C-alpha cells in the first residue's frame, strides 16, 4: 500500500471517529473553518445551520478579526471597520444589523468611494492652523471628481495599465486649466460671467487659491488613498473603480461592529488561540494542524484568513496550492490603514465630522474622524494610510499617539492632551499582515475571483475573495456565505443526501426591518 492510500485510510478512520458515527448511524458532514473574522463566522454559521459539524479555529484570543470593537474607554470604539458601506436593504448585512436594532450614523448619502463623508462636513486647516474657506473645500472636491472623470479618457486611450497618480498628472499636462481656475468659474451655473470672475478673484485674493487649492487637492487624494489603504502611485487606473457600490451612502456603526459578529458566532464551536500552520488535503478529507501539533480532520475546510497571512506563507498547504492560486495570492495588493483613537476630557474642536490637515503632498496630509458627532463621546480618530501608516507602525504606541496629537496641535494649538488612546497595528499584526486588499497596477481585477475559487475540498472566503465588495465587512460576509454554499454542495453531493439539509441561504422570506439612522 503506498503512503497516499495509507494516509487516506487513516484520515477516513479519523473522520468516522471525529464524527461519532457508529455502525448504521448516518454521519454528519464536517467542516473546519479557519479564521473567526466576518467571513469565517458567516461560513461557520451557515454550515452549522445546514447541519454540518463545524469547528472554527482562530489564532487570536478573540473573534472578529479586522472587526475589533474595544471597550476599554468605557464605551465602544472600533479599531478596525466602523462603517457600513451601503446603508440599504440590498446590503447583505442589512437583515442582521436591522434586527439587532443597531443604530447607524450616516456620514454621507453619496455612494462614491471618494466621499464617505459629505463635502460640507469637513473642516480643513493648513499647517499654520488657518481654516481653509469652505467654498474652496467644496470647489476643489468637485474639481477632484472632474479630474477623476478625465482619467477615464486616459484609461480608454492606453492599453497598458498605469497608476492613478500617473493618470492624474497626464490630465494636468493636457488640461492645465483644470488646476481650478476654469472649474471654479464654470461650476457656478446661473451666475453671470462677470460675477463668476469676481467671485473667483475674491477667492484668489483671500486664500492664495492656487497654492492652497493644490494642498486641498492633495488632501482629497489622501482621502482616496485612505479608501484603498494604499498610495496613489500603486493603485491601478484600470481597476480602481471596479468594485460595486451599494446605494444608501455610508453609515457609522454607533455601537461598534462587534455585536454583529457576536450574534452570528453564538453557539458555534470556536477554538480561540488555535493558529493553523498546515492544511493537508486528501481526496476524502482534510487534516489541519495547529501550532503545538494538535490536528483536526473534516470533510472540507473553509480558509478565511486574511490575504496578508496567505501571502506570508505561514500556513503550509500540502499538496501545494496550484500555481494560478499562488499567483493570485502574490499579485493582489494588500494595503495598510491604521487608527489612533484619542479620548479627551472635553470637546475643543469644531462641530464637524472630519478635521483635515492640508499639505503639499498627500503623504503630509492627514485627517481625524470626530466621533463626538456620531456617538456623543469626546473622541477623535486619526487614520493614516499607505506609506504614512507603514512609517507610523514602526513607532511605539506612545510615539504614534504623540505623532497624531502633534498633527492635531498644528491645526488646533489649544488642544488638550488625550486622557487615553488606542493604536492599531494591522500591518505588522501576524494575524492580519495588512488592512484590506486593493488592485495594484497591471494586475487583473479577476484576481479576487481566482482567490475565491475552491481547490478540491478547500474553500476560500474573506474580503479579498469578493469581486464585488472587496475590502469591506459586507464583502467578507457574503464570501463566507458563498464558500459555505459551495462547500455544502460539494460535500453533500458526495453523500447523496442533498435534500436532508437546509440550504445555506435559506428560502424563508426575509423580514425587512428598517435601519435606525441618525445624523445629529
> Which spans of this chain sit near ligand FAD (rule: CB under 6 A)?
34-40, 57-60, 65-67, 80-83, 85, 275-276, 304-306, 309, 315, 337, 339, 424, 426, 431-432, 435-436, 462-463, 471-473, 476
Q: Residue 381, Cβ neighbours under 10 Å: how many?
A: 19
User: Judged by CB, which is closer to ligand FAD: 66, or 215?
Assistant: 66
Minimum Å distance from CB 192 to ligand FAD?
44
CA–CA dist 459, 5 (Å, integer): 23
User: Judged by CB, which is closer to ligand FAD: 356, or 434?
Assistant: 434
| Sheet with 354-357, edge to edge strand ranges | 122-125, 354-357, 366-370, 379-382, 340-343, 420-423
Minimum Å distance from CB 313 to ligand FAD?
11
User: Judged by CB, which is closer to ligand FAD: 65, or 171?
Assistant: 65
DSSP for 63-91, written as a single string: SBTT--EE-TTSS-EESS--EEES-STTS
Distances from the Cα of 403 to the Cα of 78, 367, 383, 434, 484, angstroms: 20, 13, 12, 21, 43
CA 287 to chain centre: 30
Q: Residue 277, Cβ neighbours under 10 Å: how many?
A: 14
CB 297 within 8 A of CB 409: no
User: Judged by CB, which is closer to ligand FAD: 69, or 432?
Assistant: 432
User: Judged by CB, which is closer to ligand FAD: 59, or 69?
Assistant: 59
CA–CA dist 29, 480 (Å, integer): 18
Distances from the Cα of 317 to the Cα of 41, 47, 233, 274, 289, angstroms: 22, 23, 33, 17, 10
Minimum Å distance from CB 306 to ligand FAD?
4
> Angle at which helices 209-228 and 193-207 pack, to 10 degrees?
80
Minimum Å distance from CB 257 to ligand FAD?
8
Minimum Å distance from CB 441 to ligand FAD?
22
438 is in an annotated binding site: no
CA–CA dist 161, 236 (Å, integer): 7
Minimum Å distance from CB 86 to ligand FAD?
9
Number of H helices, E strands in the chain: 16, 23
Q: How many residues does the chain have?
A: 520
User: Judged by CB, which is closer to ligand FAD: 38, or 415?
Assistant: 38
CA–CA dist 398, 421 (Å, integer): 9
382 is in an annotated binding site: yes
Residue of closest CB approach to ligand FAD = 37
User: Judged by CB, which is closer to ligand FAD: 82, or 108?
Assistant: 82
Minimum Å distance from CB 435 to ligand FAD?
4
Enumerate the known binding-site residues for substrate: 382
Enumerate the known binding-site residues for FAD: 276
Amino acid at each position: 500500500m503506498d503512503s497516499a492510500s495509507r494516509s487516506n485510510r487513516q484520515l477516513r478512520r479519523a473522520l468516522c471517529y471525529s464524527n461519532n458515527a457508529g455502525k448504521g448511524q448516518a454521519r454528519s458532514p464536517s467542516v473546519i473553518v479557519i479564521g473567526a473574522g466576518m467571513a469565517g463566522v458567516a461560513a461557520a454559521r451557515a454550515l452549522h445551520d445546514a447541519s454540518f459539524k463545524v469547528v472554527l479555529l482562530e489564532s487570536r484570543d478573540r473573534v472578529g478579526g479586522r472587526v475589533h470593537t474595544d471597550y476599554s474607554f468605557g464605551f465602544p470604539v472600533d479599531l478596525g471597520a466602523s462603517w457600513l458601506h451601503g446603508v440599504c436593504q440590498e446590503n447583505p448585512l442589512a437583515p442582521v444589523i436591522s434586527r439587532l436594532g443597531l443604530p447607524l450614523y450616516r456620514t454621507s448619502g453619496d455612494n462614491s468611494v471618494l466621499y464617505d463623508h459629505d463635502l460640507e462636513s469637513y473642516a480643513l486647516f493648513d499647517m499654520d492652523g488657518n481654516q481653509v474657506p469652505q467654498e474652496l473645500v467644496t470647489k476643489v472636491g468637485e474639481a477632484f471628481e472632474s479630474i477623476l472623470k478625465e482619467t477615464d479618457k486616459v484609461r480608454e486611450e492606453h492599453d497598458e495599465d498605469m497608476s492613478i497618480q500617473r493618470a492624474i498628472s497626464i490630465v494636468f499636462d493636457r488640461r492645465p486649466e483644470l488646476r481650478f481656475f476654469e472649474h471654479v468659474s464654470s461650476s457656478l451655473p446661473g451666475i453671470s460671467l462677470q460675477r463668476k470672475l469676481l467671485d473667483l478673484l475674491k477667492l484668489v485674493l483671500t486664500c492664495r487659491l492656487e497654492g492652497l487649492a493644490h494642498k486641498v487637492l492633495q488632501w482629497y487624494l489622501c482621502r482616496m488613498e485612505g479608501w484603498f489603504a494604499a498610495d496613489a502611485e500603486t493603485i491601478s487606473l484600470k481597476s480602481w473603480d471596479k468594485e460595486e457600490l451599494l446605494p444608501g451612502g455610508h453609515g457609522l456603526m454607533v455601537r461598534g461592529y462587534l455585536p454583529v459578529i457576536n450574534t452570528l458566532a453564538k453557539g458555534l464551536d470556536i477554538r480561540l488561540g488555535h493558529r493553523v500552520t498546515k492544511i493537508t488535503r486528501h481526496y476524502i478529507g482534510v487534516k489541519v494542524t495547529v501550532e503545538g501539533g494538535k490536528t483536526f480532520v473534516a470533510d472540507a475546510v473553509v480558509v478565511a484568513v486574511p490575504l496578508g497571512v496567505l501571502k506570508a506563507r505561514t500556513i503550509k498547504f500540502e499538496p501545494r496550492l496550484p500555481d494560478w492560486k499562488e499567483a493570485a495570492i502574490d499579485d493582489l495588493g494588500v494595503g495598510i490603514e491604521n487608527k489612533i483613537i484619542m479620548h479627551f476630557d472635553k470637546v475643543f474642536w469644531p462641530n464637524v465630522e472630519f478635521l483635515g490637515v492640508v499639505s503639499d503632498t498627500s503623504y503630509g496630509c492627514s485627517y481625524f474622524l470626530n466621533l463626538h458627532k456620531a456617538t456623543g463621546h469626546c473622541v477623535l480618530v486619526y487614520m493614516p494610510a499607505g506609506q504614512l501608516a507603514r512609517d507610523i507602525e514602526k513607532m511605539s504606541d506612545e510615539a504614534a499617539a504623540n505623532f497624531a496629537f502633534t498633527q492635531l496641535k498644528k491645526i488646533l494649538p489649544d488642544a488638550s492632551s488625550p486622557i487615553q488612546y488606542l493604536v492599531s497595528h494591522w500591518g505588522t499584526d501576524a494575524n492580519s499582515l495588512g488592512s484590506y486588499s486593493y488592485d495594484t497596477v497591471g494586475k487583473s481585477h479577476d484576481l479576487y475571483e481566482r482567490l475565491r475559487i475552491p481547490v478540491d475540498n478547500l474553500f476560500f472566503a474573506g474580503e479579498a475573495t469578493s469581486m464585488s465588495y472587496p475590502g469591506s465587512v459586507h464583502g467578507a460576509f457574503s464570501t463566507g456565505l458563498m464558500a459555505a454554499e459551495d462547500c455544502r454542495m460539494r460535500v453533500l453531493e458526495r453523500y447523496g443526501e442533498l435534500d436532508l439539509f437546509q440550504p445555506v441561504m435559506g428560502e424563508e422570506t426575509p423580514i425587512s426591518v428598517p435601519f435606525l439612522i441618525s445624523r445629529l
